Amino acid sequence: MLKLTYTESSFDLECLTLSLEEWVAQRVILALRVGQSLCIEPSTASFLLPVDLLGVEVLRAEVKRDDRGIIALCACDTEYMEVTLRGSWLSDSSKDAVGVFVTTMSDRAEFFLHKLWQEAQESSASVVSE
């Protein structure tokens, strides 16, 4: 399962071994126990990846192989492509821009997408430090 956590200033992508159903059930139980409202709805989430990352072509092949349409790639410009995922959005309210997006696809695709995202974070961090 992939979990994208959106905050006011950034987002984080994690690859979790729990099933989507297990994770959502745990999150619902937590919300009930602490008295927090929780909105869960089908949605999409998008983020950018540099097109020059090693492995982008493998990701493109993986997207073509997946016939469920959970992941889509779109060229933004010469430097970046947009990755769009179908899944579920969890937040305090349906209008909240801060929350968690979860989705599931093949283990291989999840691991590979997470690896590419980590490499993108490392390369952008090294550019900022230079």
Tens digit of pLDDT for each residue in 53-73? 988 888 888 888 877 889 999
Tens digit of pLDDT for each residue in 90-129? 998 767 788 999 999 988 889 889 999 999 988 775 444 4
Residue 9, Cα to own-chain centre: how many angstroms?
16
Tens digit of pLDDT for each residue in 17-33? 999 999 999 999 999 99
pLDDT, residue 128, reads 43
Structure tokens at 24: 């959502």
Q: Provide the whole-model pTM.
A: 0.87
Kindly state the DSSP code that residue 26 receives in the 8-state scheme: H
pLDDT, residue 125, reads 55
8 and 91 Cβ atoms separated by less than 8 Å:
no
Report angle CA 92, 93, 94 to the nearest 5 degrees: 140
Residue 43 pLDDT more than 70? yes
Contacts of residue 110, defined as CB under 8 A and 6 or more positions apart, other chains included, come to 1, 2, 15, 104
| Residue 130 binned pLDDT confidence (cut-offs 50, 70, 90) | very low
pLDDT, residue 126, reads 47
Structure tokens at 69: 């349409």
Whole-Å CA distances, 36 to 88, 91, 98, 116 = 18, 10, 15, 34
Return d(Cα 116, Cα 68) in angstroms, integer.
21
- Mean of pLDDT values over 68-97: 90
